[in-house]
Amino acid sequence: MRAPLSWIRDFTPVEAPVDELVHALNQLGLEVDAVEAPGREVLGVRVARILDVVPHPNADKLRLADVDFGDGQTRVVCGAPNIVPGMVVPFAPSGATLPGGFTLERRKIRGEVSDGMLCSAKELGLGDDHSGILALDPAAELGSDVRSVLGLDDVIFDLAITPNRPDAMCIVGVARELAAHFGLPFTVPEPVVPRDAGPTATVPVIIEAPDRCPRYLAWTAAVTLGPAPAWMQQRLVKAGIRSIGNVVDVTNYVLLELNQPLHAFDLDRLAGPGIVVRLAADGEQVTTLDGVERTLDATDLLICDGARAPQAVAGIMGGGDSEVSDTTARILLESAYFERMGIARSSKRLKLRSESSARFERGIDPDGVARAAARAMELLVEVAGARVAADLVDEYPQPVARPRIHLRTSKVNGVLGTALSDTEVLDALAPLGIEVSGAGDEIEAVPPTFRPDLEREIDLVEEVARRVGFDAIGRTVPKPEHQVGGLSHRQVDRRVAADALVGAGLAEAVTIPLVAPEAAARFSEETPVQVANPLRSEESVLRPTLLPGLAAAAAHNAARGQGDVGLFEMGRVFVAPPTPETLPIELESVAGVLVGTVPRTPIETDRPVDVYDAVDLVRTVTDALGIAAVRLEPAVVPGFDPEASARVYAGERGVGVVGALAPAALAASAVPGPAVAFELDLDALSAAARVDRQFRTPSSYPPSAIDLAFVVDDAVRAAEIGATLRTAAGDLLEDVRCFDEFRGEQLGAGRRSLAFALRFRAPDRTLTNAEVDELRVRCIEAVAAGHGAELRG
Amino acid sequence: MTLDDALARLDTAEADARAAVAGAGSLAALDDVEREWLKARTSPVSAVNESIKTFAPDERPRAGQAVGAYRSAVGDAVATRRAELEAEAAAHRGPGLDLTLGGHGRRRGHLHLVTQIRRELEDIFVGLGYRVAEGPEVEDDWHNFEALNIPPAHPARSMQDTIYVDLGFAEQMMLRTHTSPVQIRTMETQAPPIYVVAPGRTYRNETLDARHSPAFHQMECLAVDRGLTMADLFGTIEAFARMLFDDESVRTRFRSDFFPYTEPSAELAVSCVFCGGAGCRVCSHTGWIELGGCGMVDPNVFEKVGIDPDVWQGFAFGFGLERIAMIRYGINEIRTFFDNDVRFLEQY
């Protein structure tokens, strides 16, 4: 909302410097977005009268104008077509400055001396009109500063008013706040309206939906249409409203001044004449002022004429034959109070917002309706020669009750942490129009009807805070006495997992969880959760896995010449709810992707990333978390190469996947291969069994190491043989590790040799050769029996 | 071997050993010489030592002394020659291995900047005695709006602002538009006193560009206890801001504002840490950096979660994590956080 200071001063004599005003407004919660001083750059421009206009001897399109600027006369060159002798115009003499920092100098134009220039509206920073020299009020004093004549010596505050403060959406409301803040008098003059019974009459008003329209005031007047006077136009323009004509301008002026939306109907085009306020019929169609045909339903409220024909969508926009036009001679002025939520719902559903609807929605003053109508009539008398009907109709069957609020000084201080006295509390509230009585913890406060936001004690506590200022509140730091701060085990696990992956060289990515359906389908068979109102299809489902996001991040980097990346992400993935009426399942997931080449040169040679790098990353996470019994089982996983992918298990529970990404998935994701990836369910890992942490003294006896190579079918997995060896060897086996894989003709097709290094050690003695031999035999027999293996000689 | 034989043998051997030492042309050759004349079982020393036990007791000390003298003489010669050879080797040594080639290329990775900021904030509040609370990113109307005192017609609920999800049934679920629903969930499940922070991802219906993102991160703080005041709120924010910016001179500024779920409500700003409040580019020459909003928990919110507002008072505040990172490091586009360009990720 734009509030010109000159207008504010109509109601309170505020003289503080602009920066103090800005500070005060901000403190009060009327946030100042911008301060404009339209005349700030117009310096030394004066009012002058054109005495004579003669042709320029050397130019067809230029003329010479002799001007009188009060205490002197001079001649300027002018190219504007509209100048005539007698016209009063803005004259910028040499030395004057115009917007943009342009300073005038006396100079020759085509051989003729020009002592300055005459200005268009645009040249003064007043809008875009550059068609001719701006005509000023012929009565303006010659030589005076054009800023005062044009109302440019003003400051405009552009305020961001929060939705709880409808009262501050108008000049009077802003003035009231400033008056309270600076302790100044505040007066809104009572409108004076001369009545005339002659040409006008009262019309019947029937309110069929009183819950939606608690008050409707109709008042008629005969008017003479024409432009509004300059002072009114200037104020409207400064407040950001275009001038249309005296009658409409008056309604807008009162809207800005008093926050009361008004509507003027052409009385002679209202059937009846009369007003019916009724709900629309389902499917009823109305063409609103903006030319759009709108289909209404039974929750929309209409203002109709006596024949029940719609003339306006109540409180939102006009829309009938009775709009004020060039031929209007008599008007019916509507000043009404509509229920807030009804306007809000209709406005939202019709996608139609206006200055009126914005105000009704927030809540105007139900008791201000009559004053606003009177103010409008007062102005119409002044600017449209109105003859105002002696009688008016004011339907207000159920006056809005003002709440009586019990306020405790102890509560004020208890919430704010202050030590305000009763007097300070009462003095804070009274200037806001709140009637206060009593003292201590027995204060009764009755807020004015223009403050619908004040209903409860806490609302008044906030008012006191605003008035005394937040600077008056101290700074203390409370410490919880019932708990110590800390992270949960799961939160710690997440940090541990992330730190482990950072240690393994990966960079953490954070991607947007909204992905394209096809990207989700590439890596998941789950039906993803759909967005109901996506802005684009690329963001129309919630990720069921982190992999689409990581693939997109890898693609983004590849497109910028960074093809070799290692990224991980940790975050929520979403699965559609298993039962209706519940929220989706959200799992905390961690995933990683390695793309391209592992750089090893110059010490070794580069190599492409391979699936074992991804297996290492899985181990990095599970080891960091100390997860027991982690194993991999070959599996077909969407988006992965079926020949090189596995599911990860912790005990019997599946906790994730690992493998090489399938070429098709990579191509579709625009990731140049090769790429390997993993994804783990962190919540499942957090719940999984951990490795035994019971301390055992490390044996100080020497180990005995043996190597065993087995020839087995390809289908037999290394981990299976490892498990068999561990079982067979028992507690004396300290470590077992596969260290070689070999295929060759001599082994036969579909067979391979896997070699294991076993290390035995006893806690209490050196193992004898006989013991080690026995263990060796036991291991060989177990693997032979369990996996059809032959010992390789 | 008699004593005399032994002494003579050592004499001869010493001369031969010295010659051999002098003739050793390399450290390896010198090692061989040392072994032959001093350390090996076949060395003269061993032979003499073997014989000593056959000598008369009064002869043994002399023999021992002679062996000692031989040892130290030859040993010194070896040491001197070794030093010469080492000096020679040093003089002719090549450039050696080039360790500046780099290593095997193993590098540490990086936490995302948002994660780093989140951890920093969590740790500050843990230090103040808070726990870290969590909630779902897909929320129902009750937690995201209704219980927060946000009425049905509130503009924040519009399709322009909120991303709704379609779960195939009537009630509209949405991606949470702020971390405040975690306040509600915490108060629904935990009796006061409550001191929690809730960092997390939030959503708005916007397309990713320089200034907008459909997802971003916030952190919410909620404290509910007997007798908590606005001074406690302001003091907590100031303490946290000073830790965050590692600057005890940071000041806080509060201005009246409006949020449906707090009253009184305030916008919170901190004095610019770059110019100390004098005005600079970062703070748009205002001296202040707006961080977020705060206020005392509205009694209506307490009533919705069944907490008696006459017994308990609380405060809440929230702010954006990306915004803090943007201020601190001069990042000017929010998109930067979600492009995941490794040059950005590896910078932090």
A29–B256 C-beta distance less than 8 A: yes
pLDDT of residue A315: 94
A476 touches chain B (CB under 8 A): yes
Pairing of strands B164-166, A751-760: unpaired
CA A713 to chain centre: 63
**Contact call for residues A77 and A64 (beta carbons, < 8 A):** yes
Identify all chain A residues contacting B130, using CB atoms and an 8 Å cutoff. 480, 485
Identify all chain A residues contacting B129, using CB atoms and an 8 Å cutoff. 479-480, 483-485
A416–B230 C-beta distance less than 8 A: yes
Copy the structure tokens of residue A46.
């004066």
A461–B129 C-beta distance less than 8 A: no
Model confidence at A128: pLDDT above 70: no
Identify all chain B residues contacting A481, using CB atoms and an 8 Å cutoff. 193
A498–B258 C-beta distance less than 8 A: no
Torsion, Cα of A696, A698, A701, A706 (10° steps)? 90
A338 touches chain B (CB under 8 A): no
Separation between Cα atoms, residue A233 and residue A228, nearest integer Å: 6
Model confidence at A41: pLDDT above 90: no
By Cβ distance, the residue of B109, B168, B205 closest to A501 is B109
A505–B101 C-beta distance less than 8 A: no
Identify all chain B residues contacting A416, using CB atoms and an 8 Å cutoff. 229-231, 264
Separation between Cα atoms, residue A27 and residue B233, nearest integer Å: 18
Separation between Cα atoms, residue A721 and residue A785, nearest integer Å: 11
Write down how long chain B is. 348
**Contact call for residues A668 and A522 (beta carbons, < 8 A):** yes
pLDDT of residue B58: 87
A461 touches chain B (CB under 8 A): yes
b/e map of A298-313 (b: 16 or more CB within 10 Å)? Answer: eebbbbbbeeebbbbb
Shortest CA distance from A584: residue in chain B: B138
Model confidence at A608: pLDDT above 70: yes
By Cβ distance, the residue of B111, B127, B299 closest to A502 is B111
Taking only the tens place, the pLDDT of each residue in A247-265 is: 999 999 999 999 999 999 9
Q: What phi and psi values does residue A576 have, to the nearest 5 degrees? A: -55, 145
Copy the structure tokens of residue B343.
């040059």
B215–A513 C-beta distance less than 8 A: yes
AA letter at A354: S
Separation between Cα atoms, residue A148 and residue A134, nearest integer Å: 15
Separation between Cα atoms, residue A178 and residue A184, nearest integer Å: 8
Model confidence at B269: pLDDT above 90: yes
With 0-12 CB in 10 A as exposed, 13-18 as middle and 19+ as buried, what is B132?
A: buried
Helix, strand, coil % over all residues of chain B, rounded to 5:
45, 20, 35
pTM for the predicted model, two decimal places: 0.84
Query: Radius of gyration of chain A from Cα atoms?
Result: 42
A580–B136 C-beta distance less than 8 A: no
By Cβ distance, the residue of B108, B119, B169 closest to A505 is B108
Q: What phi and psi values does residue B210 have, to the nearest 5 degrees? A: -60, -40
Shortest CA distance from B339: residue in chain A: A553
pLDDT of residue A385: 93
Residue A390's alpha-carbon distances to A79, A199, A265, in angstroms, are 53, 10, 18
* Residue A6: strand pairing partners: none
- Strand residues in A314-430 grouped as ranges (E): 317-318, 330-337, 387-395, 405-407
For residue A85, how many other CB atoms are within 10 A of its CB? 11
b/e map of A397-410 (b: 16 or more CB within 10 Å)? Answer: eeeeebeebebbbe
B216 touches chain A (CB under 8 A): no
Taking only the tens place, the pLDDT of each residue in A701-719 is: 999 999 999 999 999 999 9
A473–B230 C-beta distance less than 8 A: yes
Mean pLDDT calculated for residue range B223-246 = 95
A477–B167 C-beta distance less than 8 A: no
- Strand residues in A280-374 grouped as ranges (E): 285-287, 293-295, 301-305, 310-313, 317-318, 330-337
A158 touches chain B (CB under 8 A): no
Place of tokens 């910078």: B347
pLDDT of residue A673: 81
Percent of chain A exceeding pLDDT 70 equals 99
**Contact call for residues B162 and B173 (beta carbons, < 8 A):** no
Confidence class for position A240, pLDDT limits 50, 70, 90: confident
Separation between Cα atoms, residue B113 and residue B217, nearest integer Å: 12
A465 touches chain B (CB under 8 A): yes
Identify all chain A residues contacting B119, using CB atoms and an 8 Å cutoff. 495
Pairing of strands A88-92, A117-118: antiparallel
Separation between Cα atoms, residue B15 and residue B62, nearest integer Å: 19
Place of tokens 């019971």: A694
By Cβ distance, the residue of B101, B167, B342 closest to A602 is B101
Identify all chain A residues contacting B166, using CB atoms and an 8 Å cutoff. 529-532
CA of A95 vs chain B CAs: smallest distance (Å)? 32
Strand order in the sheet with A156-160: A2-4, A156-160, A31-36
**Contact call for residues A504 and B109 (beta carbons, < 8 A):** yes
Which of residues 88 through 147 in chain A touch B, CB cutoff 8 A? none
**Contact call for residues A730 and A782 (beta carbons, < 8 A):** no
**Contact call for residues B253 and B269 (beta carbons, < 8 A):** yes
Q: Which helix (H) or strand (E) holds A117?
A: strand A117-118
Separation between Cα atoms, residue A596 and residue A581, nearest integer Å: 44
Model confidence at A395: pLDDT above 70: yes
The yes/no answer to whether this complex scores an ipTM above 0.90 is no
Separation between Cα atoms, residue B230 and residue B314, nearest integer Å: 9
- Considering chain A, what is the average pLDDT of its residues? 93
pLDDT of residue B96: 82
Residue A761's alpha-carbon distances to A12, A410, A695, A772, in angstroms, are 95, 76, 17, 9
Model confidence at A753: pLDDT above 70: yes
Confidence class for position B296, pLDDT limits 50, 70, 90: very high
The mean-pLDDT minimum among A421-430, A440-449, B10-19, B214-223 falls in B10-19
With 0-12 CB in 10 A as exposed, 13-18 as middle and 19+ as buried, what is A707?
A: exposed
A163–B109 C-beta distance less than 8 A: no
